[in-house]
Amino acid sequence: MSSAISSREYLQRRSFIELDARTRAKSLFDSRTDRELAGPFDRIESPWLPLQGVTPQADDGCIVMRGTIGGRQAVVIAFDGAFQGGGIGEVSGAKLTSALDLACRDSQEGKPTSAVLLLETGGVRLQEANLGLAAVAEIISSIIALRQYAPVISVIAGPIGCFGGMSLAAGVSSYIVMTPEGRLGLNGPEVIEEESGVEEFDASDRSLIWSIYGGQQRYNQGLVDVLVDDDANQMIETVRDLIAQGIPEVHRSQQVDLYRSRITALDTSTQWDPAVVLWSAASLARPTGRDQRPTDDKKEHHQ
């Protein structure tokens, strides 16, 4: 543990990861400004899951809330990792896309409305494969439309992480915030093991998983803007700061040459030790030019 804060302060922190999706979303808003849209009592559920013997959920695992954060208009969309691994289906995808499109419309009409995506998702919901894939395409397109007017912030807290098509959605957002416990990757460990064999990737090897997909690693690779502890207050403060900061000068997904040069520079002839990747990536310039590495007194990760 870092000496920056005492053990007592460490233990008194309120975990963000331990909050359920609805409480996470609610926690970000200014007091009593939040209201849920298309909530569970509207019973907009997946029509496809019962056909496969799966009990649907009344909000389809996607919570949409509207209100103000730091006095600014915002919509928060949270995925419930406890329901189908937070997988994106037709209904949850449509809820997210509609929320982004309404925020975009309001922004165009002079009421800038930021979006915060609380991503806890294994990607496309396997039981709704093609519909989920179509939803991801729409989500990405809606994020790119909105980010011209107001920041879109992806938060990957854990424990599921953010995989599959939704990692692409995170990639096009204005900012990515992670905790060290979060995980971010295109192909999840289970998929790599199934496709390429356990010799290629052992999906039961937790330390291997975090050394490749984990928040600390992703931050050091320059793929994440802010790394925060699993602390609800730090998360609220970080989201508020990024909304106040507004749209970045250049979005990460527009820096194709920078990222291509990094991939080209990688020596893939040997298996990289994660510790070396950490060291090597830390020496690279931050992509947005904003080094948001946590400071000792504020957001130091406790190792």
Binding site residues, ligand COA, CB under 6 A: 84-85, 87, 122-126, 160-161, 163-165, 187-191
* CB of 24 or CB of 66, closer to ligand COA: 24
Asked if 46 and 128 touch (Cβ cutoff 8 Å), the reply is yes
Please, which residue, 66 or 218, has the CB nearer to ligand COA? 218
CB of 127 to ligand COA, least distance (A): 6
96 neighbors 136 (Cβ within 8 angstroms): no
The CA angle 148-113-243, to the nearest 5 degrees, is: 80
CB of 2 to ligand COA, least distance (A): 26
Q: How far is the CB of 116 from ligand COA (least distance, A)?
A: 21
Task: Give the closest residue to 219 by CA, choosing from 173, 264, 260, 183.
Answer: 183
Nearer to ligand COA, 65 or 94 (CB): 94
CB closer to ligand COA out of 124 and 143: 124
Q: Give the single-character DSSP code of 41.
A: G
Query: Please, what is the minimum distance in Å from the beta carbon of residue 17 to ligand COA?
Result: 12
C-alpha distances out from residue 168 to 88, 93, 107, 158, 196, Å:
13, 14, 23, 17, 22
Least distance CB 53 / ligand COA (angstroms):
12
The CB-of-172 to ligand COA minimum distance in angstroms stands at 16
Nearer to ligand COA, 161 or 180 (CB): 161
Looking at the Cβ atoms of 16 and 83, the one nearer to ligand COA is: 83
State the nearest-atom distance from the C-beta of 180 to ligand COA, in Å. Answer: 15
* Closer by beta carbon to ligand COA, 182 or else 287: 182
Q: CA 129: distance to chain centroid?
A: 21
Distances (CA, A) of 85 to 18, 125, 193, 278: 16, 8, 18, 29
What sections of the chain are H helices per DSSP? Answer: 7-12, 21-28, 90-108, 129-146, 165-171, 189-196, 206-213, 215-220, 232-245, 256-265, 274-282
Closest approach of ligand COA to the CB of residue 188, in Å = 2
- Provide DSSP, 223-257: --SEE--S-HHHHHHHHHHHHHH-S-SS-GGG-HH
Nearer to ligand COA, 161 or 215 (CB): 161
Q: Would you say 274 and 216 are in contact if contact means Cβ atoms under 8 Å apart?
A: no
Tokens of 10: 């460490």
